[in-house]
Structures are given as structure tokens and as C-alpha cells.
Chains A and B, each alone.
Chain A
Amino acid sequence: GAVVSQHPSWVICKSGTSVKIECRSLDFQATTMFWYRQFPKQSLMLMATSNEGSKATYEQGVEKDKFLINHASLTLSTLTVTSAHPEDSSFYICSARDQGLDTGELFFGEGSRLTVL
């Protein structure tokens, strides 16, 4: 199956700093990637839809200036958490859909656990 790689898996940062998370589709092209956030014991919450070559679409309540998304190529999307605060500590997961499959199945990255001190 298709592989999505996410990096870093774990990151600890100080409050006020910025953190960048990368999401790569390794063996397929993805014009669209999705970024989720998951708090403990809760389901996935879609933050934004990343579109190659254009601006990301953010879900209601998600600050686009705080969570910067760049989708510069068909295989890479990045999420930058700017001026991180402890409440941004969460599990961030990206996913992508292989356009070549009919199922619409989403392939997930390994996730990135962010801890803001």
C-alpha cells in the first residue's frame, strides 16, 4: 500500500518557539493532504486541508496564522506551529489520498507528538 512518512515523531519545545512537521507521500503523488490533531482519548479532529500549489483550507476555529501549512510539491506538505504554547501540545497526524485508487482510502503518517514546555 501507499506510504506516508511524517517527521519528527516526537518533539519537545519551549513555549514561544515554532515547530515544523513534515508529511511526505513516498510512493505516490498527493495533490491533497490532510492535517489532524488528536487530544488524549479523543478522536481525530481535522485542522486543515492542504492543497498543492494553493492556500490551505482551514476548519472553523483553527487559526491559520498560528498553524501555517505549505504544500509546495506533490509529495510534501508541512505544518508549522508558530509561537507554540502548552495548550498546543497534542498528537498531530497527516494523511493523504492516493489519487490512483478508487477507494478514496486515506493513508496516514506515523504522527508527531508535540510537547510544549
Chain B
Amino acid sequence: GQNIDQPTEMTATEGAIVQINCTYQTSGFNGLFWYQQHAGEAPTFLSYNVLDGLEEKGRFSSFLSRSKGYSYLLLKELQMKDSASYLCAVMDSNYQLIWGAGTKLIIKP
């Protein structure tokens, strides 16, 4: 079966760095996405990785290792507004998105 695993909840301090991991087992691979979702709102796109390596975009970076079925989202200089759920999703060989359950990130002052 297809499976996406990510931690349920993480807590970090304002100004610090946090890494959210995602491991996956899917039927084929056509890219991995990270989305941010604030409570009561729709998800917003953060990043897309299809090749191995690190993609940096401002305070957010995303890493992919296809051989290990592993990705992480790195958030630097955490701000209170970064408190949200972070969803990992993998596009399989049929171009269908398989969603993880999301990681709720709590930022403390």
C-alpha cells in the first residue's frame, strides 16, 4: 500500500530552527510537495522537489532523497505566524497526490 509518515506534532521556540521529516512508500514517484495549512484555512503551497537535494526558498528549505524515500522541511528563524500544520504529499505514478496526515507545529515565545 501507499503510505506517508510524518510526526503528528512538534513544538519549537520563536527564532529557532525546526525540521519536519516525511517518509514515504508509494507506487512510483513524480514529486513531493509541502503545503502549509493554518487552522480553518485551505493549504498553501510551500515547495516541490522531484530531484534529490535541497531546495531553498527564503526561511523555508525542503530536502529530498528518493533512494531513501525521505524528505524534510526546514524552517529557520521561526515566527509565531509559522504555527500551522505542514502537509507532506507525494505524487505517484498515476499523478495522484498521496497526502500525509500533517504535522502540527506549535511555536512558543
Interface residues of A (CB under 8 A from B): 1, 6, 41-44, 46, 91, 93, 103-111, 113
The reply to whether the CB of B13 lies closer than 8 angstroms to some CB of chain A is no
Contacts of A107 in B (CB 8 A): 45
Contacts of A110 in B (CB 8 A): 41-42
Known: A43-B99, A103-B48, A104-B91. A109 touches B33 (CB 8 A): no
Known: A43-B102, A44-B99. A111 touches B41 (CB 8 A): yes
Distance in Å from the Cβ of A102 to the closest Cβ of chain B? Answer: 9
Determine whether the beta carbon of A43 is less than 8 Å from that of B40: no
Q: For residue B44, which residue of chain A has the nearest CB? A: A108
Interface residues of B (CB under 8 A from A): 30-31, 33, 40-45, 48, 87, 91, 95, 97, 99-102, 104
Determine whether the beta carbon of B101 is less than 8 Å from that of A43: yes
Q: For residue B87, which residue of chain A has the nearest CB? A: A43
Q: For residue B4, which residue of chain A has the nearest CB? A: A43
Task: For the complex, give the distance between the alpha carbons of A109 and B44 in Å.
Answer: 10
Distance in Å from the Cβ of A40 to the closest Cβ of chain B? Answer: 9
Q: Which of A6, A105, A109 has the most CB of B within 10 A?
A: A105
5 cross-chain pairs, A with B, having the tightest CB-CB distances, nearest first: A108-B42, A111-B42, A43-B101, A43-B102, A103-B48
Distance in Å from the Cβ of A96 to the closest Cβ of chain B? Answer: 12
Contacts of B104 in A (CB 8 A): 41
Determine whether the beta carbon of A43 is less than 8 Å from that of B42: no
Determine whether the beta carbon of B31 is less than 8 Å from that of A93: no
